[in-house]
Amino acid sequence: MKERALVGEMSDPGRLVLLGAPLGNPADASARFRDVLATADVVAAEDTRRLNRLARDLAVSVPGRIVSYFEGNEERRTPELVEVLTAGYTVALVTDGGMPSVSDPGYRLVRAALDAGVPVTAAPGPSAVTTALALSGLPCDRFCFEGFLPRTPGSRRARLRTLAAEERTLVLFEAPHRVADALADLAAAFGTDRPAALCRELTKTYEEIVRRPLGELADWAAENEPRGEITLVVAGAPARPAERPDDDTLRAAVAAREAAGLSRRDAITEVATEYALRRRDVYTITHT
């Protein structure tokens, strides 16, 4: 670990910079990523060896002090880094790939820095979430990110039951040794025909995108035992038509729209569309 003494307090707080790191290909590192690495007083890295290797690949010298910051030590190290920040120094936070805090260490430090009045900014970079979403071939206009599913089968299945009716495209991270079981549970909860994609080793030499219905994808994973960093993308549930209200409610809905200025014809059309009913049926109900 590189050591550089940080002595003397400055009048203003420093700043915390979140660095979006390449998912695998060093060429994806931004110019700002390189600049921050070369100028930060402290670089907190999820894996210091990976950081040093990345710096060598980028031909970037890191003169600042490099410290480890990972799940096992972030509770202890966070106050130390906040002390450095409040003394006026710049701390860069980098994880093994993607943006810190997003299913990676970082949230605890971000929250502590903000509570201490320290500015927090970012040098944005690659994201496994949006990269997998864009490559999946599934709708991207609305999506939700669920991170890692629970590790135990019972908790995982319970979580999936709550997500089965979600209409937005779903993005998940999963460990290779659990992905086959997770896909089998997804197929059971969402249906075997729900479109999905398994994205493996994004931007790396052995990048692979497998796009199949959940049932087929679960069988493929069980047979092939995929390895590496895995992101799953699953199509949202089909939109459910609104429940048909009783006739009095339909009449009141049409009357409310007329009172708001719509013509009787437009009011009937709007109510019929909202509840997936035939316009003729709504017309008949409002005239009886």
Q: How confident is the model at residue 241 (pLDDT cuts 50, 70, 90)?
A: low
Residue 245 is predicted with a pLDDT of: 85
Domain for residue 135, yes or no?
Answer: yes
Average pLDDT over residues 41-54: 97
Output Rg (C-alpha) for the chain, integer angstroms: 26
What is the residue type of 64? G
Query: For all residues of the chain together, what is the average pLDDT?
Result: 92
Per-residue confidence (pLDDT) for residue 244, from 0 to 100: 79
Q: Is a pLDDT exceeding 70 seen at residue 147? A: yes
Same domain, 30 and 43: yes
Say how many domains are in the chain: 3
**CATH assignment of the domain containing 147:** 3.30.950.10
Beta strands 90-94; 15-19: pairing state: parallel
- According to DSSP, the residues that pair with 90 across neighbouring strands are 15
The answer to pTM > 0.85 is no
Residue 135 has pLDDT above 50, yes or no: yes
Whether 183 and 281 share a structural domain: no
CATH assignment at residue 47: 3.40.1010.10
| For range 136-163, the mean pLDDT | 95
7 inside domain: no
Residue 173: which region, alpha, beta or left (left: phi > 0; alpha: psi -120 to 50)?
A: beta
Domain range for residue 270? 247-286
pLDDT band at 273 (very low <50, low <70, confident <90, very high): confident
242 band by pLDDT with thresholds 50, 70 and 90:
low
Is the same domain home to 211 and 157? yes
Mean predicted confidence (pLDDT) in 113-122: 97
Mean pLDDT of 230-240: 91
Tell me if 67 is assigned to some domain: yes
| Sequence letter at residue 39 | T
Give domain status of residue 240, yes or no.
Answer: no
Find out whether 122 and 97 touch, Cβ atoms under 8 Å: no
Q: Which of 78, 26, 13 is nearest to 52 (CA)?
A: 26
Q: Per-residue pLDDT for 7 more than 90?
A: no
In the predicted structure, residue 208 carries a pLDDT above the cut 50: yes
